[in-house]
Amino acid sequence: MIVELNANCEKYILQLERKFFNIFTVNSIKDDFLNNPYTHYLIYLNDNDVVGFLNYYDIYDRMEIVNFNVLNAFQNKHIGSSLLDKLFEIANNKKIKNITLEVRIDNKKAIHLYHKYGFKEVSIRKNYYQGVDGLLMECEMIKMKDVYVLGIESSCDETSFSIVKNGVDEIATVISSQIDIHKKYGGVVPEIASRAHIKNVTFVLEECLNKANMKMEDITAIAVTYGPGLIGSLLVGVEAAKTLSFLYNKPLIPVHHISGHIYANNLIKRLEFPLIALVISGGHTELILMDKDYSFKKLGGTLDDAVGECYDKVGRVIGVEYPGGPVIDKLAKLGSDTYNLPIPLNDDTYNFSFSGLKSAVINLVHNEEQRGKTINKEDLACSFQNVVIDILTKKTMKALKEYNINNLILAGGVAANNGIRNKFKELCEENNINYTFPSIKYSTDNAAMIAASGYYAYLDNRISDLTINAISSVELK
């Protein structure tokens, strides 16, 4: 049992003094209490015996752990963590912003426990404990409480809601895809997409909350894709987010769609920095360097078509259903590399170009047709995919080497591609590079990635008011 000490707890005060401070008569702890309103003691009782305690100060929105001890005979019984749990409960109720403490640098066990509670090392005080250095540690409270972010994604043809805890634990995700609606037009029709989003939005939200067994009141913050994407589609998600934020008084976090794709990897494994992200989707082809969370440096990008767009157009020419990407991936596995296609923008920059490759495939198909020949779809898919793999791997591996980085992540719909994954896996293993790929399911658009990214934006204080708007074209910052 944990008790907050007050001046009437004579019996416990005496025990504290005798067991932990070797004081037998002086009422020093009691005096400290009466004279200092900032001093508090939490004591852990075992059958009315004090076996552990935590002494802390609270001053405005800060706390300091001054003394913290558990009797030797009662170690390893989670008494320390129970006391810390209680402290965090009090800190949360008092809206404390940060907690600091000082610990002997050789007290590895205590330091490990503090790390588990989110304390970070701040500085070292030389010889603070007579010959032993003191380690100053700090915990920012916002990072401690469980944060449930509701993510909303509607930038293209998926209406999706998701709840993710602390940026890493997916609680529930619902994706309503419109692919079947757009298939008959061979691509996404923007007006139809936004109408379908409007029709779906409330149902998808409801289903997501039901699946998570949560209410809007349980949500900490709302993250929404504000761009880039189809403006009519984006607007539906952004308006939904603003309405929910206003109604339930929750912080609103605008999320860039590409940062979402990047953080889809965080749901597999916590991102390790510095890293290089190869973003390959229907609208993007970019190499991005990240030194830490929410720091994006673009090394290069496509000068014309995105790689996914190229896949879809090639798919259309060889007569496969929209979206062509996944179908070409499957065909490629069955074919051989027999067609000669140019490697586009095979230079020393980190830029890409796919319109030339697309035109080369279109011309090849037309020429063959004019000559009365039929193309071998599997072989063409294989030849095309090999060129794509060549150029993507060449530039990405070069960037890793040049910037001396050994963490790679893939992001975006095209990251679902088997051929691309396999080649990167092989090259990374050869070169001792750590790699993470998003799950196949969350390579393409979804709200789990937006919620994951939203968590780090929340920690970075990227909170917006209700004037935010959807933007169809916007750089990642």
Q: Which residues bind ligand KG4 (CB under 6 A)?
A: 156, 281-283, 308, 311-312, 323-326, 329, 412-414, 416-417, 444-445
Which of the listed partners (ligand KG4, Zn ion, none) does 157 bind, with a CB threshold of 5 to 8 Å by partner kind? none
In the complex, the smallest distance separating the C-beta of residue 421 from ligand KG4, rounded to whole angstroms, is 9
Whether residue 418 contacts residue 333, with contact meaning beta carbons closer than 8 Å, is answered with yes
Q: Which is nearer to Zn ion, 376 or 446 (CB)?
A: 446
DSSP lists the bridge partners of residue 59 as 62
Q: Which is nearer to Zn ion, 58 or 445 (CB)?
A: 445
CB atoms within 10 A of CB 7: 12
In the complex, the smallest distance separating the C-beta of residue 361 from ligand KG4, rounded to whole angstroms, is 14
Q: Which is nearer to ligand KG4, 157 or 239 (CB)?
A: 157
Farthest CA pair distance, the chain: 107
Q: Which is nearer to ligand KG4, 41 or 384 (CB)?
A: 384
Strands 407-411 and 62-70: unpaired
Q: Residues in the chain, how many?
A: 477
Q: Which is nearer to ligand KG4, 388 or 408 (CB)?
A: 388
Q: Which is nearer to ligand KG4, 308 or 454 (CB)?
A: 308
In the complex, the smallest distance separating the C-beta of residue 184 from Zn ion, rounded to whole angstroms, is 22
Which of the listed partners (Zn ion, ligand KG4, none) does 265 bind, with a CB threshold of 5 to 8 Å by partner kind? none
Which of the listed partners (Zn ion, ligand KG4, none) does 385 bind, with a CB threshold of 5 to 8 Å by partner kind? none
Angle ∠(447,453,454) on CA atoms, nearest 5: 85
Using CB atoms, what's the residue nearest to ligand KG4? 413
281 binds Zn ion (CB under 5 A): yes
In the complex, the smallest distance separating the C-beta of residue 58 from ligand KG4, rounded to whole angstroms, is 47
Which of the listed partners (Zn ion, ligand KG4, none) does 239 bind, with a CB threshold of 5 to 8 Å by partner kind? none
Q: Which is nearer to ligand KG4, 219 or 238 (CB)?
A: 238
Q: Which of 272, 261, 278, 273 is nearest to 397 (CA)?
A: 278
In the complex, the smallest distance separating the C-beta of residue 201 from Zn ion, rounded to whole angstroms, is 18
In the complex, the smallest distance separating the C-beta of residue 280 from ligand KG4, rounded to whole angstroms, is 8
Q: Which of 355, 354, 322, 327 is nearest to 193 (CA)?
A: 322
In the complex, the smallest distance separating the C-beta of residue 304 from Zn ion, rounded to whole angstroms, is 18
Question: How far is Cα of residue 338 from the mean position of the Cα atoms in its chain?
Answer: 41
In the complex, the smallest distance separating the C-beta of residue 114 from Zn ion, rounded to whole angstroms, is 39
Written as six digits, the tokens of 52 are: 């552990």
- DSSP class of residue 26 equals -
In the complex, the smallest distance separating the C-beta of residue 289 from Zn ion, rounded to whole angstroms, is 20
Written as six digits, the tokens of 377 are: 């779809």
Which of the listed partners (ligand KG4, Zn ion, none) does 167 bind, with a CB threshold of 5 to 8 Å by partner kind? none
* CA dist list (Å): 411 to 156, 277, 335: 16, 7, 26
- CA–CA separation, 88 vs 110, rounded Å? 16
Which of the listed partners (Zn ion, ligand KG4, none) does 137 bind, with a CB threshold of 5 to 8 Å by partner kind? none
Q: Which is nearer to ligand KG4, 147 or 280 (CB)?
A: 280
Binders of Zn ion among 433-462, rule CB under 5 A?
445
Tokens 């090392």, residue located: 121
Q: Which is nearer to ligand KG4, 314 or 400 (CB)?
A: 314
Written as six digits, the tokens of 84 are: 């810390």
Which of the listed partners (ligand KG4, Zn ion, none) does 260 bind, with a CB threshold of 5 to 8 Å by partner kind? none
Which of the listed partners (Zn ion, ligand KG4, none) does 305 bind, with a CB threshold of 5 to 8 Å by partner kind? none
CB atoms within 10 A of CB 106: 11
Stretch that binds Zn ion, among 16-24, 49-57, 279-287, 457-465 (CB under 5 A): 279-287
Which of the listed partners (ligand KG4, Zn ion, none) does 12 bind, with a CB threshold of 5 to 8 Å by partner kind? none
- CA–CA separation, 31 vs 117, rounded Å? 31
In the complex, the smallest distance separating the C-beta of residue 42 from ligand KG4, rounded to whole angstroms, is 50
Which of the listed partners (ligand KG4, Zn ion, none) does 312 bind, with a CB threshold of 5 to 8 Å by partner kind? ligand KG4
By rule CB under 5 A, what count of residues binds Zn ion? 2
- CA–CA separation, 477 vs 475, rounded Å? 6
Residue 315 one-letter amino acid: G
**Reduced to 3 states, what is the DSSP secondary structure of residue 1?**
coil
Three-class SS of 390-437: HHHHHHHHHHHHHCCCCEEEEECHHHHCHHHHHHHHHHHHHCCCEEEC
Residue 119 one-letter amino acid: F
178 binds Zn ion (CB under 5 A): no
**Reduced to 3 states, what is the DSSP secondary structure of residue 291?**
coil
Angle ∠(20,22,27) on CA atoms, nearest 5: 95
In the complex, the smallest distance separating the C-beta of residue 223 from Zn ion, rounded to whole angstroms, is 15
Which of the listed partners (Zn ion, ligand KG4, none) does 311 bind, with a CB threshold of 5 to 8 Å by partner kind? ligand KG4
Q: Which is nearer to ligand KG4, 151 or 308 (CB)?
A: 308
Whether residue 287 contacts residue 339, with contact meaning beta carbons closer than 8 Å, is answered with no
- Residue ranges that bind Zn ion, judged by CB under 5 A: 281, 445
